[in-house]
Structure 1
Amino acid sequence: MKVLLYSEGKKLFSKSGVGRALKHQMIALEKVGVAYTTDEEDNYDLAHINTIGPGGEKVLKKSRKSGLPVIYHTHTTFEDFRNSFMFSNSLAPLIKRRIKRLYSSADFLISPSEYTRDLVRGYGVNLPIKVISNGVDNEKFTRNAFLAESFRKQYGIEGPLVISVGLPFSRKGVVDFCDIAADKPDIRFFWFGAKITSLLPAKIKKLLNHPPKNVIFPGFVPQETIMGAYSACDAFFFPSYEENEGIVVLEALSMEAPILIRDIPVYRGWMRSEENCLKGRDNRELSFLLDRLVADKKLAGKLTSTGKETALERDLSIIGQKLKNTYLEVLEKR
């Protein structure tokens, strides 16, 4: 069995969750000995498509014409497309129709969470769907005291540190992050993620250029820097309004960073407030909980210990086996 793992726009998507998901699939399959290619011109037995652009549609049509089964990974939804790039809200209804058409044309679907599966079902897509987490590389994302010290030294940080990771979209809560930070001048706030300013709305560009004095946007940085920040932070604060899983949340769990997230449907069932994270419903509550998390080291220790267990349940070796079983199931039905 040889699988095509397909994602288009690799340069752009490499800095996004979809790009990380593709990399995770590659590592996961290597761990369980499944051969794969990322070249659509190569020979393969099954196509696993991650994106909904013209390249993904071309692979879909080519595979169907050749009688090869197609699995579509439902990373993209109408809900998470909104409030991202310029004109995303205007384009979202068109994207929803495209999503429904492409996903319905596959043989099988994989969703990164039960929430995303239910969204896709709500679009009227009636194919079989299996929920498989994007997973996390627990071997790599391990708390590192040396990297933590190096990060704090690099940026001259002595007091409390709060971080977030992701593209600086309104949907991700970047405005809320800055609003809450502005009320806490004694805490340093960092938001890591490619800025891609040519695609961002004017409001977000202005925020990136003129953030509160205690907020830094370093942009896209080497992974070692991110790992240093995860290891050094007093809180990983991710106020996103919409996610299909949240790979950065999985990384924070694995790095044993104390986590504060917005209470949104995607986390129900696996991110449990007061056990492996804290959850807030609105900015007022999030601000209160952030102060609590930074001040209470005993609470932070409890959350990170349980959080690491959550990450281990989603290790890429486990994800690889689930992907392998799914591929074999789809091939057997052809």
Structure 2
Amino acid sequence: MRVLDYLELSSQLDRAGIGTAHDQQVEALDRARAAGADVEVLTSAWPDGDPVAGLRRGLRGRGFLADVDVVHLNLIGPASVALARRAKRTDTPLVLHCHVTSEDFRESFRGSDTVAPALRRYLRWFYSQADLVLTPSEYTKRRLEAYPVTAPIRALSNGIDFDSVADHADYREEYRERFDLDGVVLFAVGSVFERKGLTAFCEVAERVDHEFAWFGTVDSGPQASSTVRRWTSDPPDNVTFTGWVDDKPGAFGAGDVFFFPTKEENQGIVVLEAMACGKPCVLRDIPVFREYFEDGHDCLLCDSREEMVAALERLADDPELRERLGANARETAAEHSLEHVGEELVATYEELLA
């Protein structure tokens, strides 16, 4: 069984959660194949990944694109639309993976709230073409059903690649020294924008006597929102915005308590990464986190700024609580192994082919 698992604009999305999710799909399928599954993964629609070879092949009447049994697309742009249409013309099973909703598009960059309603209409049309839509959570599945998307929808965790953060502790001293961090550090990882909880992060930091660090890209171009510009140009004295870091494990190694007051997620791979590192997590209490995590067991879920302040101060002052939550978090992350994701993907493809 040959599967095209394709991410449009992959080189531009290598720092984004969508890029991580796609990389983990490919790795999960590679592990499934190593375990004996009959699956071959292609990440380029061109034969052998070469558009010139595809053109030559087409001129010989053999078709421009690679021959596959299943098409699995991870983005919503024009190349993905073209491949989806080709899959429908050739009666090839089409899986569309939902990493984008109009809800999580909001508060991402300048003008995103204005575009979101039109995006919802577009996504309703695009996802409805699929033979199956995969979502990272039941929460996102319910979102799409309300649009309404008419294709069948199934929830499947993005999973977590433990190997990608396995050596996080080795980076601790280097990264703390590089960014002048000391004591118990409360941290976030990922691109900096308001939907991820930027204002809450900074306002809570102003009320907590510990260092805060946000590891991730800070937009500075015309697409950057006024909120991002305001907080990153004049942050609270105890907040460090590091910008992009080359070694993702370094961010998790440098921090002690993962603080993620995001307003909307389809799952939140970065939370699973923090949990895989055994980091205690303080999260905003949103439905998708209730689906996967348990307050007081593997994280602390908070509604208000006051609850966030109390939770962070409690963890900063209680090493035993940090250790207990972190150990339980590591067990939770293990439930989202790539081996399990690979098995589920292969079973899904086989079901569609049958």
TM > 0.5 between the two?
yes
Whole-angstrom CA distance in 2 between matches of 1:120 and 1:144: 36
> In structure 2, the residue corresponding to 1:171 is in which secondary structure?
helix
| Aligned partner letter, 2:217 | A
Whole-angstrom CA distance in 1 between matches of 2:168 and 2:22: 25
| Aligned partner letter, 1:40 | A
Deviation for aligned residue 1:167:
1.5
Q: Which residue of 2 aligns with 1:238?
A: 260
Whole-angstrom CA distance in 2 between matches of 1:141 and 1:232: 12
Q: Which residue of 2 aligns with 1:95?
A: 119
* CA spacing shift, 1:121–1:253, aligned 2, 3 Å: same
Whole-angstrom CA distance in 1 between matches of 2:6 and 2:27: 14
Q: Please state if 1:38 is matched with 2:43.
A: yes
Whole-angstrom CA distance in 1 between matches of 2:349 and 2:217: 33
Deviation for aligned residue 1:90:
0.8
Q: CA RMSD in A?
A: 1.4
Whole-angstrom CA distance in 2 between matches of 1:315 and 1:95: 32
Q: Please state if 1:202 is matched with 2:207.
A: no
Q: Which residue of 1 aligns with 2:52?
A: none
Q: Which residue of 1 aligns with 2:164?
A: 140
Deviation for aligned residue 1:327:
0.9
Deviation for aligned residue 1:216:
1.4
Q: Please state if 1:193 is matched with 2:198.
A: no
| Aligned partner letter, 1:35 | E
Larger Rg: 2
| Aligned partner letter, 1:291 | E
2:282 pairs, out of 256, 260, 263, with 260
Unaligned runs of at least 5 residues, structure 2: 34-38, 48-65
**2:194 and 2:227 in contact (8 A); partners too:** no
Q: Which residue of 2 aligns with 1:271?
A: 293
> In structure 1, the residue corresponding to 2:75 is in which secondary structure?
coil
Q: Which residue of 2 aligns with 1:161?
A: 185
Whole-angstrom CA distance in 2 between matches of 1:31 and 1:259: 29
Residue by residue, what CA displacement relative to the aligned partner does 1:35-78 show, whole Å, maximum 9, x if unpaired?
11121223221111111111211111122112211101111111
| Aligned partner letter, 1:240 | T
TM-score, with normalisation over the residues of structure 2?
A: 0.89
| Aligned partner letter, 1:113 | S
Residue by residue, what CA displacement relative to the aligned partner does 1:208-235 show, whole Å, maximum 9, x if unpaired?
2221122111111112xx3233133221
Whole-angstrom CA distance in 1 between matches of 2:110 and 2:8: 20
Deviation for aligned residue 1:154:
2.6
Residue by residue, what CA displacement relative to the aligned partner does 1:114-164 show, whole Å, maximum 9, x if unpaired?
100111111122322221111101233236433222222333333121110
Unaligned runs of at least 5 residues, structure 1: none
Q: Please state if 1:23 is matched with 2:23.
A: yes
**1:145 and 1:231 in contact (8 A); partners too:** yes
* CA spacing shift, 1:264–1:329, aligned 2, 3 Å: same
| Aligned partner letter, 1:274 | G
> Identity over aligned residues, as a percent?
36
TM-score, with normalisation over the residues of structure 1?
A: 0.94
Q: What are the within-5 Å matches in structure 2 for residues 309-324 of structure 1?
A: 309-324=331-346
Q: Which residue of 2 aligns with 1:7?
A: 7
